[in-house]
Structure 1
Amino acid sequence: MYRFIGRGRELRILDHALREVREAGAGAGAAQPGQCLLMRGRRRVGKSTLVEEFLRRAEVPQLFFTAGGGSAEDELAELLDAVATSTLPDKAVFAEEAPTQWNAAFRLLAEILPDDSPSVVVIDEVPYLMERIDAFEGMLQRAWDRLLSRKPVLLLLVGSDLSMMEALNSYDRPFHQRGREMVVGPLNPADLSEMLELEPAAAFDAALITGGLPLICREWPVGASMWEFLGAALENPISALLVSAERSLAAEFPPQAMGREVLRAIGTGERTFTNIARAAGGIAHSTLARAADLLIDKRVVAAELPIALHPSKERRYRVADPYLRFWLAFLDPYMAEIERMRGDLTLARVREQWPSWRGRAVEPLIRESLARILPDGMLPAAPAVGGYWTRSNDVEIDLVGADRQPVAKELLFLGSIKWLETSPFDAHDLAALHKHRAALTDDPIPLVAVSRSGVSCAGLQATYGPDELLGAWRAR
């Protein structure tokens, strides 16, 4: 039997919103008891599963409609089907009138919602409707203001296109400030540790491979090592590990889009603008700039600047989703050999390159973990946790805590990450960190080490290992 793991925070948010609807509906004279949440998260991150679990627990009349990217007429027909299979008490009225326009559909939907008890209406993949239906946002806004919000209903608007979902609530759009925003991220390392019964260090490895995507995590046998999981996944050409990335990219980027070539260049390890242009086939810088902006806008790629006391133009690019980063580096280039049942060759390549690849790939996850831990009695709270580098990489600092980014007024700590399985952070690593600190500042900024295998030297303000980092992700 499938166990629903994690999402405690998200379920509490949904429960609280429904409770507000119930209390407002029960109160005398509440003009607008309805509540609206705008839920966004990347594809395959588990938004629909989360909503389904919430609906299962809520046990109130409910409608779940998923847009499919068709014409306005096709989407309206799908809405009629969704109403027919819903648990709304007066759904038969909708079928009898069979509205042929979206304005009429919203009006009729409001009429069949209960007046004296809470209900939930879910519209999934809202960006499809925004793209395909003329004036959809205006129709939604009028329906909400005049009709839907006057009923005790929780309206969940769900979408995978992050930029479009953010735009839905922007100040110059019709639906501005009608709903509260809710972001659904992947399962975190603590969720994976519980779900897969993994030790802390192994949970971080699982996060780097699966990206915390539930569909992939469900294929990971409980208690199995990462090598056991990878071996089985590479033997199955339709495993979620192999196919999820391609399906997500196909949904967001047409095959001819230059963004996919740029993404592949970044995914294979190129981080600077010039090197990405070269790896993408020598494309023009103007073309690369447009493609990079698209990838950043869709939150597929992160563009980062070093944190320092002075401005820098040394922007670095990385694939934001750990799973997609793993897929681009180890799976996508070798899909042909996997399909001819030589996943053993792919697995051997992963084994060979894993320590060095993991060492860099884990850095964003560790930075976010630290930001969640602090303050902890050893280090102060750090509003910004990033890194520092120069163009030539002669100075590179893994961890920089500061009061803001990228140009800080105050540096709070500097640190190194050593994420090897058998090699602790030692005096040589500390000497290198001292040297790099001297290149950045003359001030005695506190030094910190993050190590997978412990620390064998003194002279650090704070040290962290997998156990402490995993604790940052547990509910408090």
Structure 2
Amino acid sequence: MVDFVGRRHEMATLERELQKVTAGVGGERPGRCVMLRGRRRVGKSRLVERFAERSGAPFLFYAATGASPADDLARLARDAQVSTLPSAGLVAAARPQSWDDAFDVLAAALPTDRAGVLVIDEVPYLMDPDGAFEGMLQRAWDRVLETKPVLLILIGSDLSMMEALNSYGRPFHQRGREMVLGPLNPAEVGQMLGLGPAEAFDAALVTGGLPLICAEWPHGAGLWDFLGEALSDPVSALLVSAERSLAAEFPPQAQARAVLAAVGSGERTFTNIARAAGGIGATPLQRSLELLMEKRIVAGELPVSLRPSKDRRYRVTDPYLRLWLHLLGPSMDEIERGRGDLTLARIRENWTSWRGRAVEPLIREALARMLPDGQLPAARVVGGYWTRTNDVEIDVVGADRAPVAKELLFVGSIKWLEQAPFDRRDLAALLRHRAALTDQPLPVVAVSRSGVDCQGLDAVYGPGDLLAAWPL
């Protein structure tokens, strides 16, 4: 199934947790809990559904809706009716009026002689500001659920709220194992779509590694064929996934949406974001950026160097969302009029500059994963360096820590073009910028999509080298 390309590790983790529950049947506290978080549409719910179906254990899968508490509890009763728990009828018959009551009846419905699985999806919808739900969950776990042979799986897309659920001082602290499900990485995207290394990186950028979008990419098809087909369908996953995720994250009039749109359009500095967001004031802009960073939608990064800097740059963390904000979302009117060809032409015009910036975080992640490799040492941090005026900008800086390093390990330049290899002019520019960063003769690295046409480099990496950073 395409849903689970690259999900073997996560599936194995859930299977091990269930085996521990099975081994504890008859014991005092055999129950175990897993808290699974990840951005919307990465396949969390489908992964857990498939795991539960494969396990052979009786299970109940409940998904909160974000409606009223009464509606969510009524949904629990309905989901219980279609579950495989042997005594699930108790939940439907009881019609609990509070989560305290619901957890009691769920515990009564769980088997005692074999392991069962209880899944609560979209947990952040149930979490209220005063922590009442978390308190009820903690009491139910400590009092009854943990005494049952149950694997409780809590799923959520709001990363900050799911992290808070297990944080120090919160009622459910240290009662479950945390798991993170990320998007498909470039190697997994390439394997799923039948693409070569360079094309796999392009597909990873456009789809964001979201399985739902990847599933609409014809096997072996090129980037422009896929885009042409997706842009001809206003309800394709490529076009609707971002809007649905944003609608779930923010109210329609949220100021953070305007700030996110400004960052997504390519603005990176505080001043330029404020201008692009309609002249927003410094204090509300700071609050919006903090909210976006808390939700892991935006990253605020500082240059890596031996000296402190306040020149923070902002970027949208998901490359697919960045593409949607910059080129797809603003074009929805013409796409809905059947003129996706105009949008496709605009993407072609902007593709080289957009991709050149968007691919940098993926390349830095690949280098951090693959080092040391005989050419370069291991680096705890692989970031970048820039000055306020951008007269010096280094794509890759390896260091022992960030943003203020004790030791710099290497510098590098990224040239991600189809027809132009990394050449002596690129090397000369890298050496000039290295001299502005440090007087140390740090190793110099070229990362190039189209190879290298010069001497004097300490390490060279192409798409195939980078893709190997994510073993399948």
TM-score (norm 2): 0.98
Counterpart selection for 1:264 from 252, 261, 264: 261
Tell me the residue number matched to 1:317.
Answer: 314
Q: Conserved in 2, the CA contact under 8 Å of 1:72 and 1:132? A: no
Q: Distance in 1 between matches of 2:98 and 2:288?
A: 37
Q: Give the superposition deviation at 1:140.
A: 0.3
Q: Distance in 2 between matches of 1:131 and 1:202?
A: 44
Counterpart selection for 1:211 from 201, 208, 220: 208
The letter of the residue matching 1:378 is Q
Structure 2: gaps spanning 5 or more residues: none
Q: Distance in 2 between matches of 1:121 and 1:338?
A: 42
Q: Distance in 1 between matches of 2:34 and 2:251?
A: 30
Q: Distance in 2 between matches of 1:296 and 1:382?
A: 24
The letter of the residue matching 1:413 is F
3-state secondary structure, aligned to 2:453? coil
Q: Conserved in 1, the CA contact under 8 Å of 2:303 and 2:386? A: yes
Counterpart selection for 1:53 from 50, 53, 75: 50
Q: Distance in 2 between matches of 1:444 and 1:15?
A: 50
The letter of the residue matching 2:287 is R
Q: Give the superposition deviation at 1:132.
A: 8.3
Q: Distance in 2 between matches of 1:281 and 1:93?
A: 55
3-state secondary structure, aligned to 1:388? strand
Q: Distance in 1 between matches of 2:4 and 2:318?
A: 22
* 1:161-310 matched pairs, under 5 angstroms: 161-310=158-307
Q: Distance in 1 between matches of 2:129 and 2:226?
A: 41
* 1:418-429 matched pairs, under 5 angstroms: 418-429=415-426
Q: Conserved in 1, the CA contact under 8 Å of 2:3 and 2:46? A: no
CA distances 1:194-235 after superposition (whole Å, capped 9, x unpaired):
111001110100011010111111111111101000000110
Counterpart selection for 1:330 from 321, 327, 335: 327
3-state secondary structure, aligned to 2:24? helix
Tell me the residue number matched to 1:99.
Answer: 96
Q: Distance in 2 between matches of 1:446 and 1:346?
A: 42
Tell me the residue number matched to 2:343.
Answer: 346
Q: Give the superposition deviation at 1:149.
A: 0.9
The letter of the residue matching 2:390 is N
Q: Distance in 1 between matches of 2:253 and 2:96?
A: 38
Counterpart selection for 1:110 from 97, 107, 110: 107
CA distances 1:137-193 after superposition (whole Å, capped 9, x unpaired):
000001101111111111110001111111111111100111111111101111111
* 1:400-415 matched pairs, under 5 angstroms: 400-415=397-412
3-state secondary structure, aligned to 2:394? strand
Q: Conserved in 1, the CA contact under 8 Å of 2:38 and 2:181? A: yes
The letter of the residue matching 1:164 is M
RMSD: 1.3
Where do 4+ consecutive residues of structure 1 move more than 2 Å? 1-4, 92-101, 131-134
Change (3 A) 1:378 1:105: same
Change (3 A) 1:465 1:134: closer
3-state secondary structure, aligned to 1:6? coil
Tell me the residue number matched to 1:375.
Answer: 372
Q: Distance in 1 between matches of 2:422 and 2:429?
A: 11
Q: Conserved in 2, the CA contact under 8 Å of 1:36 and 1:154? A: yes
Identity across the alignment (%): 67
3-state secondary structure, aligned to 1:142? helix
Structure 1: gaps spanning 5 or more residues: none
Change (3 A) 1:229 1:410: same
Q: Distance in 2 between matches of 1:54 and 1:377?
A: 40
Q: Conserved in 2, the CA contact under 8 Å of 1:303 and 1:318? A: yes
The answer to whether structure 1 residue 15 and structure 2 residue 15 are counterparts is: yes
Paired residue total: 472
3-state secondary structure, aligned to 1:362? helix
